[in-house]
A and B are shown apart, each in its own frame.
Chain A
Amino acid sequence: MLDNPQDGYMTADGRQIGGVVMELKNITLRFGGVVAIKDISFDIREGEIRAIIGPNGAGKSSMLNVISGFYNPQEGDLIYKGYKRPKMRPYQVSRMGIARTFQNIALFEGMSVLDNIMTGRMHHMKSGFLSQAMWWGKAAREEAENREKAEQVIDFLEIQAIRKTPVARLPYGLKKRVELARALAAEPKILLLDEPMAGMNVEEKEDMSRFILDVNDEFGTTIVLIEHDMGVVMDLSDRVVVMDYGKKIGDGTPDEVRNNQDVIDAYLGVSHD
């Protein structure tokens, strides 16, 4: 199945997934002598929730960093919306519609929740430096429009009560949600989530899962996520890439992956007899 890049497919819960929006071809990433990612290829289709799983040190975060431009792979191509993406800086990648969250939350601690989310709207604001500085006509109008978008995201993620609170004062679970809100405010084509549920309690995990599904459903955002909680991954995602020691050892629907012998070996260990 899925040989043709234009083909979509129907998920188990009846959502229509579109064609390939991003394709990673033979990506290899090295840090000096250490090979973090070894010749990995997979694709991401429009509107799907794509998970990357694997044991610690498998190279999952490195993979996410390659997609978001924080690392540049030594070998391989990254094809986005049909074009090979040249070597880019992270801020340029972000401006192309790829937003992300971080494993260890990276928010602007000194700023309010609203201001944090407004930074997500940054590249939707086009007015020039001078008119911004003078705060005339266009700039003021633009600020109002973008503020409205930010408020929509705030409503959507149910964080109205903390909009003016400085981020540093928030508990961990809410910080994660604010980070999601900031990424979402950019109206990304692809949303990268690096362990969105790490360190959360069951209740917070349920909330976060619901938000991820809602985002995907409501805005049709393609989501790529890394997660350790197997239950969550299998419930949420449409297709899963499994990595181990920088190599891809499995790729398919949650059911396919669950029954893949290599994957079982990597997670449970192999007996040497």
Chain B
Amino acid sequence: MSETVLFAFEAALNGLTVGIMYSLVALGFVLIFKASGIFNFAQGVMALFAALTLVGFMTGQVPFSHLINAALGTNIHHFGFTLPALLAIPMTVAVMVGMAWLIERLVLKHLVNQEPIILFMATIGLAYFLEGLGDIMWGAEVKPLDVGLPQGGNIWFEENTQWLGFGNENFWGFYIDTLNLYALVIAAVLVTFLVIFSQYTKQGRALRAVADDHQAALSVGISLRFIWVLTWSIAGIVALVAGIMWGSKSGVQFSLSLIALKALPVLILGGFTSIPGAIIGGLMIGVGEKLFDFFMQPIIGGATENWFAYMLALVFLLVRPQGLFGEKIIERV
């Protein structure tokens, strides 16, 4: 087989695995948007905050250590112990659930029945607040995150795909990062779990009910506040998963919150209200930008990955504004 075809195929394969990372972030957006109609601008920062907290717990960092040291004149930074990932992850989940509860208590509760734009502005505020809080609590330096997920090229995959070259001497099999393979599996498990949860359980049904009609939900005995805490908790956990994947890949750093921006075109492609849409939208963007880069780089130069997703989203907005899986809004006149 010719090398171009093989390399294009490899690019697409890597695009798939990068795309699943975008999907993970977009998923958090969809969950909250479906349940409360709020576009949660803070989703990316939540992923960052979750990852920071996880690293903090694992390395035994003292939260607010800079503040404490400045106020008391001490010089403490670490508790002097480290925690295994298996313990630190549940602790971080607990923090995210607590955060969801606080967000409902302090923000959402007071903004019931407000315009969507006001809630949106509130989440922008939340994003900045969380970013600042993460900084004060855990410090702004880039931190490596290792929860035990294997990294680097997958040799097994490479060896087992070598035959696809059909004797081509320049081809040694497809290169793929093991971490990305794990991300693929984890995302699949997460989505399966979420779909089963929302389709077949009482709380899942309540979640969909609240998303559909608040009044009716109240009339059948659903507590809106509980559902909101639940939604934000799930979004927080999804953010943690996204944070772990991105953090393992490129270290936990504040630019992590910018990946939220890449989730926007994903949402426009997949539709704001569809869980499968978020996944497929993410994969399409991932594959699309890699292939575009592969074929167009010789002609228009590199760095197309920075803008390709947005251009694709723009085209979609013109042709199919509700996204691939979104609900079409029809107003009867």
Contacts and interface: CB of A to CB of B under 8 A. Distances in A.
Interface of A: 68, 70, 89-92, 94-95, 99-100, 102, 106-111, 115, 118-120, 122-123, 125, 127, 129, 132-133, 135, 139, 143, 182-183, 186
Given A91-B223, A120-B220, A122-B220, A102 B201 contact: no
Interface string B169-203: 00000000000000000000000000011001111
A226 to B, nearest CB: 15
Contacts of A92: 221
Contacts of B124: none
Contact of B221 (A115, A123, A129, A133): A123
B208 A108 contact: yes
Contacts of B208: 108, 110-111, 115
A123 B223 CA distance: 11
Nearest to A95: B221
6 contacts: A91-B218, A107-B213, A111-B208, A123-B220, A135-B196, A139-B202
A106 B215 contact: yes
B209 A119 contact: yes
Interface residues on B, range: 20 to 34
The list of the 9 closest CB pairs from A to B, nearest first, reads A106-B216, A94-B221, A108-B212, A90-B218, A132-B201, A123-B221, A95-B221, A125-B202, A91-B221
B206 A119 contact: yes
DSSP majority for the B interface?
helix
Contacts, number: 90
Contacts of B211: 110
B212 A132 contact: no
B203 A186 contact: no
Contacts of B306: none
Contacts of A102: 215-216, 219
Given A122-B220, A135-B201, A108 B209 contact: yes
Contacts of A70: 215, 218
Nearest to B216: A106
A107 B214 CA distance: 10
Given A91-B217, A107-B216, A110-B327, 8 more contacts: A91-B223, A94-B219, A107-B213, A115-B205, A122-B206, A133-B203, A135-B201, A182-B220
Contacts of B213: 106-109
A221 B18 CA distance: 58
Nearest to A123: B221
Given A94-B220, A108-B209, A119-B206, A133 B201 contact: yes
